[in-house]
Structure formats: structure tokens, C-alpha cells
Amino acid sequence: MMADRLWRWGGNALAVFTCLFLVLPLAVVVLFSFSERSFFTFPPSGFSLRWYQAAWDSDLFLVPALRSLVLAAVATLLAALLAVPAALGLRRMAPGRLRSALEFAFLSPLVVPALIIGIALLYAFNRTQLLDTFTALVVSHTLIVFPFMFRAVLTSALGLKQALIDAAEILGASPALTLRRVVLPALVPGIVAGGIFAAIVSLDQFTVSLFVTQSEQIVLPVALYKYLFDVNDPVAAAVSTVLVVFGLLAAIVIDRLGWLRHLAGGGA
């Protein structure tokens, strides 16, 4: 009995320590963004929103932020267009080595380090004259976010009951009508959950973006990186706080809607 309590207390303590380890650095950045002083002090003194106003007024962040938003939307849309047929195709395949190999291939960008992907894309785009173009960013981010979209859509596809499709065909529905009225509505939770997560990953993608851009097509994470080389004030912390809040709100939405299992690969 005492051993069980010790294991439970130890597990709870480890969970608390892990949460603090992950959250405290973010909390320091958030506190720094509201500081009155232009240099880091802990604990921060005073309260001010002038760094958020400075970030809004700065030409260094607005254009990259808008570019990042457009890029995230385009990459997420393309990933969805690719993930839906890929997931439905795997669903129709019998379990076996071929299906496992294809699924691993689709998810492989998750296990390949971003540094390796960035270097490979750098060489490819440099040879095709696409380096530092929006097209290069779209291709790169679609590659990065596709596994997240695919994993979520595949979970919904595997949870789709074949009896519903058979009933639609028996009632005379065409394949296109069955796809539109039966299949796609069943995939909506996976598409939405994967889309939200893909957008977050795209907005936060730094490593690959740094390799495929130089000066013309800079996105927000790269703009922050370049800004910190010259200036180290709370403006960067303010922009980072906005990104953290956006990601947190998106995660809460996914969790409250019960779609987190689609990202984890759970059943529908």
C-alpha cells in the first residue's frame, strides 16, 4: 500500500516538474513582454503594453506575419487535398507490409530532422531557381505539415463504417454523391483537427524556413531571429507571446471539441 502511494506521489511529482520545465521559459518570455524596461530584469518591473504597440507599428514584423498567415493557410489547404485521398486509399488497402510501408512513408517527415529536410530543400530549390520564393515556402511547409494532417484524416477514415458506404450505394448513390454526402462529412473532425495543428506548425516553423529564404520571402519566425541579432528588447518577447497565446487557444479548441484523439491516432 505504501509502495503504491510512493509510486503515485512520484508520478505526480514528475508530472508537475515536467510541466514547470516546459511552462516556466514561456512564462518568463510573457512576463518580459509586459516589462516597462527595455532590458531583461527578473522579476520584471512595472507593467506596459508599449512593446506590443511597437511590434504592431514596426515594419519588420507586419509583412512577415501576414506572409506567415497566408503561407499557413495555403500549406494547410494543400496538405488536406493530399491527405484525404492518401488516407482513403490506405483505408481500402488490406493490412499488411505494403500498407505499413506507405503509412510510414507519409509520416516520414516527422522522424527526419528538420535540419536535414532544410538542407535537402536548399539544394533542390537552388538548382531549380526557386530559392527565396513563395513557391519554395509553400512546398516546404506543405511537406512539413502533411504528416499531421494525414495522421488526423487517417484516424477519421479508419473509423468510417463500411456499412454506411454500402447503404449509400445500395440506395443508388453515385460514387461522387457517396463521397460528398457520406465520406467527407465523416472526415470533417480529422480535417479540422489536422488543419488547426498544421497551421500552428506552419506558423512556428523556423528551421526549414530559414534554409529556403534569404531576404525577399521572410516569414515571422525568421524575422524574429534576424531581429534578435541586432536588438534584444521586449518587442521580440511581445511577438512571441502572441504566437504562444494563439497556439494555446488552438490547442484548447481541439481538446474541447474532442478531436485530440485524431492527432494521437486514436479511434473515431
Q: What is the pTM of this model?
A: 0.79
Q: What is the mean pLDDT of residues 232-239?
A: 78
Confidence (pLDDT) at 268: 42
Confidence (pLDDT) at 140: 92
pLDDT band at 39 (very low <50, low <70, confident <90, very high): low
pLDDT in tens, 15-27: 888 888 877 777 7
- Assigned superfamily of 58-264: MetI-like (1.10.3720.10)
Q: What is the mean pLDDT of residues 166-178?
A: 78
pLDDT in tens, 142-165: 999 999 999 888 888 888 777 777
Instruction: Kindly write down the DSSP assignment for every residue of the chain, as one continuous string.
Output: -HHHHHHHHHHHHHHHHHHHHHHHHHHHHHHHHT-SSSS--SS--S---HHHHHHHH-TTTHHHHHHHHHHHHHHHHHHHHHHHHHHHHHHHSPSSHHHHHHHHHHHGGGTS-HHHHHHHHHHHHHHTT-TTSHHHHHHHHHHHHHHHHHHHHHHHHHTS-HHHHHHHHHTT--HHHHIIIIIHHHHHHHHHHHHHHHHHHHHH--HHHHHH-SSSS--HHHHHHHHHHH--SHHHHHHHHHHHHHHHHHHHHHHHTT-HHHHHT---
